[in-house]
Amino acid sequence: MRTLRALAIGFSLTLALTACGDSGGASAAPSDPVGGSDPVLVIADGAINEPGMSVADALGHQATDDLVTVSGALFVDPDGTVRLCDAIAESFPPQCGGERIVVEGLDLDLIADLQTEGEVSWAEGVTLFGSVE
């Protein structure tokens, strides 16, 4: 498992560095309702302290058996839906911007610096490890 994780992290670093060159900007699209076709990141190892690929890159791993390390901004919607987003829209409280993926199986107690304003909670710079389904 350690070798698989090391490979995933090395691959993630390469993709994350490549993704940093994209200056597409954040869109302030509202959160989409969770449905059967929405991609989901199923947590395998909680939050980790290593950089990961972007949410957009992770979406390319949907329906594979790959475990991926994904970095982004974590948002908890008022209904309890947890999302990892590529960007933070400029508003207060902040909103999920850019590509997004629903997160399942995450213990929110593991997320340092989780902030709350009204009914929205968020944390910047969160890295998660799991599979995209």
Q: Which amino acid is at 84?
A: L
> Using an 8 Å Cβ cutoff, are 73 and 88 in contact?
yes
- State how far the Cα of 133 lies from the Cα of 125, in Å rounded to an integer: 22
- Identify the residue with better confidence: 11 or 103: 103
Per-residue pLDDT averaged across 23-42, rounded? 50
Collapsed DSSP state (helix, strand, coil) of residue 84: strand
Q: What is the pLDDT of residues 87-119, one digit of tens each?
A: 999 888 899 999 999 999 999 998 989 999 999
Q: What is the pLDDT of residues 69-79, one digit of tens each?
A: 999 999 999 99
